[in-house]
Amino acid sequence: MKIVILEENAINNNDLCLDGLKALGEVVSYGVTPPEKIVEYIGDAEVVLCNKANITREVMLACKNLRYIGECATGYNNIDIKAAAELGITVTNAGQYSTMAVAQHVFAFIAEHFSKIGEYSSSVKNGDWIKSESFVYYLSPTEELFGKTMGIIGFGSIGKAVAKIADAFGMKVLVSTRTVPEKDLYPYEFVERNELFSRSDIISLHCPLTDETKNIINKQSLSLMKSTALLINTSRGGTVVEKDLADALNNEKIGGAAVDVVATEPMLPDNPLLTAKNIIITPHIAWAPRQTRERLLSIVTENLRAWLDGKPKNKVN
């Protein structure tokens, strides 16, 4: 059996071992696959493993031997699920592998914004502490998280992890989610989205990109937020109207933003967030610690093994 990996560079920084996959078949791996090369690279393979590459109906029809598509991520909107079902192609995904890594990244953003670690460290390295007359000196003001209100949009595994950490910091937690849990199951307040926008000191997005969540951060929703509020996005870039966010930051309508995702990745040179004020941007790395990627590879390998054994797991179609 031939197994084609279309985007190994996305999950492997030369620190992961593919022996588990190689034990299941002949593995052909490509670091990056341009859209126009997808059909050529899959070729006569029965199995393709992808991450962001678009596996369309046309791709499936052109690759006659294809019987299995393994998504190396949780989201699978890059795959035509309906076409795969019609053509008898199994599609699986890898869920919840990155929960704690993404939650950690959220609080790294929060700590940087409110504690100004980078600014103060750079100042010390520039000699400012050596020159100081006092044991302490002040640059940008810092703030405690205790007592602040954390607003979380989306309450899947990552949203729940972020809520738990926020609670441990002594923050009040507001949650907006499509499916509200039973009363008293969680010690948080479940509210409508507009109320969350207006009451939160920090808003963190943890929702999938759907028709309902596309562009939920826009001029109108930003206008509801506190002028000191911090917006965090580690979910999907398409949940944010980037020009509206850049305008809000540049006009000091909100206090800051921190994003790990943008609408088009890699980031385009004309993205308005690049030149916006008070924003932290990381290149979609919240999910990417080595331990997290090892967990992902293990899930992807086990999904394929289960399918080969006739007992598919994590099947999405």
Catalytic residue ranges: 236, 265, 284
User: Helical H runs in 117-211?
Assistant: 117-125, 128-131, 157-168, 193-199
The pair of three-digit structure tokens given for residue 293, joined into one six-digit string: 């990627």
d(CA 242, CA 247): 9
**Helix, strand, coil distribution of the chain in percent, nearest 5:** 35, 15, 45
* C-alpha 43: how far from chain center: 30
Closest by Cα among 53, 4, 21 to 294? 21
Q: How many helices (H) and strands (E) does the chain have?
A: 13, 12
Query: Is residue 57 within 8 Å of residue 282, measured between CB atoms?
Result: no
**Radius of gyration for the chain, computed over Cα atoms and rounded to the nearest angstrom:** 22
Reply yes or no: is the peptide bond before residue 34 cis, omega within 30 of 0: no
Instruction: Give me the residue label for tokens 């933003």.
Output: 257
Alpha-carbon dihedral of residues 80, 86, 88, 90, nearest 10 degrees? 30
**Cβ partners under 8 Å of residue 248, min gap 6:** 219, 222, 225, 254
Q: What is the side-by-side strand order in the sheet with 47-50?
A: 26-29, 2-5, 47-50, 68-71, 90-92
Residues 234, 105: contact at Cβ < 8 Å? Answer: yes
Q: Measured in whole angstroms, how far is the alpha carbon of residue 103 from the centre of its chain?
A: 10
Q: What is the DSSP-derived secondary structure letter of residue 127?
A: T
DSSP 3-state of 285: coil
